[in-house]
Amino acid sequence: MKLDHSFAEELTSLASEVKPIKLLNSHLVAFNHELANELGLPIQWQEEALLFAALYSQEGTLNQRPIAQKYGGHQFGHWNPELGDGRGLLLAETCDQYNNRWDLHLKGAGPTPYSRFADGRAVLRSTIREYLASEALHYLGIPTSRALCLITSDEPVYREKQERAAKMIRVCQSHLRFGHFEYFFHSKQPQKLQSLFDYCFKYHFAECAQSAHPYQAMFEKIVQDTAKLIAKWQAFGFNHGVMNTDNMSIHGITFDYGPYAFLDDFEPTFICNHSDPQGRYSFDSQPGIGLWNLNALAQSFTPYLEIEQIKQVLNSYEATLLKEYSTLMHHKLGLIASDKNRETNSNLINTWLEMLAAERKDYSVAFRQLCEFDILGGNQKLREQFINRDRFDKWAKQYAFALQNQGTIQTQRQTQMYQYNPHVVLRNYLAQQVIDQAEEGNFEMFHQFIAALKKPYQEIKEYQKFSAPPPDWGKKLEISCSS
Buried b (16+ CB within 10 A) or exposed e, 53-77: bbbeeeebbbbebbbbbbbbbbeee
Number of DSSP helices (H) and strands (E) in the chain, helices first: 18, 12
What residues form DSSP beta bridges with 358? none
Q: Give the whole-angstrom CA distance, residue 483 versus residue 88.
A: 12
Q: Are 227 and 256 in contact (CB under 8 A)?
A: no
Rg (CA), the chain: 23
- Please classify residue 444 by burial: count the beta carbons closer than 10 Å to its beta carbon, then call 0-12 exposed, 13-18 middle and 19+ buried: exposed
Q: Give the whole-angstrom CA distance, residue 93 versus residue 282.
A: 34
Side chain identity at 273, as an amino acid letter?
N
Q: Give the whole-angstrom CA distance, residue 64 versus residue 43.
A: 20
The contacts of residue 472 (CB under 8 Å, 6+ apart) are: none
Residue 339 annotated to the active site: no
| Alpha helix positions (H), 170-244 | 178-186, 190-203, 206-209, 214-236
- Please classify residue 172 by burial: count the beta carbons closer than 10 Å to its beta carbon, then call 0-12 exposed, 13-18 middle and 19+ buried: buried
- Note the Cα 291 to chain centre separation in Å: 17
Question: Could you say which of 85, 103, 246, 265 is catalytic?
Answer: 246
Q: Give the whole-angstrom CA distance, residue 160 versus residue 93.
A: 35
Beta pairing, strands 162-172 & 261-262: unpaired
What letter would DSSP give residue 145? -
How many Cβ atoms sit within 10 Å of the Cβ of residue 267?
17
Three-state DSSP state, 78: strand
Q: Are 189 and 65 in contact (CB under 8 A)?
A: no
User: What DSSP letter does each residue of 205-219 carry, written as one string?
Assistant: -HHHHTSSSHHHHHH
Three-state DSSP state, 396: helix
Helix, strand, coil share of the chain (percent; to 5): 45, 15, 35
What residues form DSSP beta bridges with 73? 80
Q: Are 181 and 196 in contact (CB under 8 A)?
A: yes
- The residues that are catalytic are 246
